[in-house]
Amino acid sequence: MSNKTILVAGGGGFIGGHLVARLRQMGCTNIRSVDIKPTSEWYQVFDDVDNRQGDLKLKDACVDACHGVDRVFNLAADMGGMGFIENNKALCMLSVLINTHLLEAALASGVDTLFYASSACVYNADKQKCEDVVALKEEDAYPAMPEDGYGWEKLFSERMCRHFREDYGLRTRVARFHNVYGPEGTWDGGREKAPAAVCRKVIDACESGRNSIEIWGDGKQTRSFMYIDDCVDGILKITNSDIVEPINLGSDEVVTINGLVDIVEKFADVKLEREYNLSAPKGVNGRNSDNTLIQKLLGWAPGISLQDGMEKTYRWIHDEYVKKYGASTRG
């Protein structure tokens, strides 16, 4: 990989930024990172990387981005946690333009491999009705009834990768990420997912001397959360593998949202009252990753514990909170 020219689409974002950091550590010297945001808003920026601002919904921007590139990692999307995807379905679906134009440009430029970041939101809603969830296997995406908006776009783009591979011979690899968390990601502003949101809310309550936090839903819904280092490991392993069909990339350590709050409260050494907002965006009742296939094909699956990953995430968000709002207003 180190002798290849690599494009990270969405390199100013959470996962893209971590992927660029890892590629540099691996000795890659020709990395191009493209994002619609100005570099001042990127989570991680590296001076030795070819950093570019561009709207990859546009075909010309994709052609420029892919020029001379061997390998594309497509992590660009207009997305967020439930609070964003439930209220921005059209915006989420417009990411299809990024995926379409990148595939076309990659093919035209002679790119050797394109990795596409899909999501657990492609899975059939009927399989996720119960908190006591049966972990999702890859075949549970069909018959199709994914998350409205965002999930349909992801499922369509997965299929587009497949057809570019089958019809045109472009080597595509697709992973279905289950909720990814970690430092250097979105923790406020409306796009944040539950792990970061819960950290921020607990920190905010402590810093401002409140004794309660709001939780979306009844707190009994279940999820599995994957730490970012596992996600980056998985992206690289899947890209280098012969796995052509979309595959789960997620933790199989399932937790309720109440359980997630318990973990964060311990880091803050606090016990808060919980106000459950039953009209807030909730998504599915239960979701977990069945890792049988990835274990079989790669002999590996994400394994960083929620406790360890959340501790690092909490400490980072705490520092960011203090940078933004100043130290405690209490006492």
Q: Which residues are catalytic?
A: 150
* Least gap, CB of 264 to ligand GDD (angstroms): 11
Rounded to the nearest whole angstrom, what is the least distance from the CB of residue 134 to ligand NAD in the complex? 20
Distance CA 89, CA 101 (A): 20
Chain centroid, CA 76 distance in Å: 10
- Angle (CA) 200 206 207, round 5°: 85
Between 93 and 117, CB nearer to ligand NAD: 117
- Pairing, β 222-224 against β 30-35: unpaired
172 is in the binding site of which of ligand NAD, ligand GDD, none (Cβ under 5 to 8 A by kind)? none
Helices (H), ranges, the chain: 14-25, 59-66, 82-85, 89-109, 150-168, 194-208, 228-240, 257-268, 292-298, 306-325
Residue nearest to ligand NAD (CB): 13
Pick from ligand GDD, ligand NAD, none: which does 221 bind, CB < 5 to 8 A by kind?
ligand GDD
Q: Which residue is nearest to ligand GDD (CB)?
A: 81
Q: How far is the CB of 30 from ligand GDD (least distance, A)?
A: 30
- Closer Cβ to ligand NAD, 151 or 206, answer by number: 151
Q: Which residues of the shown chain bind ligand NAD in the complex (CB under 6 A)? A: 10, 12-16, 35-37, 55-57, 75-79, 98, 117, 119, 177, 179-180, 186, 193
Q: Which residues lie near ligand GDD (CB under 6 A)? A: 79, 81-83, 85, 119-121, 150, 177-179, 192-194, 197, 215-217, 221, 223, 257, 280-283
3-class SS at 188? coil
Residue 277 host element (H or E)? strand 273-277
Q: Least Å distance between CB 89 and ligand GDD?
A: 12
Q: Judged by CB, which is closer to ligand NAD: 182, or 217? A: 182
Selection from ligand NAD, ligand GDD, none that 85 binds (CB < 5 to 8 A by kind) is: ligand GDD
Rounded Cα distance between 232 and 15, Å, is 8
Interior angle at CA 233, CA 180 and CA 45, nearest 5: 70
Q: Are 286 and 179 in contact (CB under 8 A)?
A: no
Q: Cβ 194 to ligand NAD, closest distance in Å?
A: 10
Q: Which is nearer to ligand GDD, 12 or 283 (CB)?
A: 283
Distance CA 310, CA 223 (A): 14
Pick one of ligand NAD, ligand GDD, none as the site partner of residue 282 (Cβ within 5 to 8 A by kind).
Answer: ligand GDD
Nearer to ligand GDD, 31 or 205 (CB): 205
Q: Taking Cα atoms as reference points, which of 9, 159, 152 lies closest to residue 71?
A: 9
Q: Which of 84, 147, 116 is nearest to 287 (CA)?
A: 147
222 near 288, Cβ under 8 Å?
A: yes
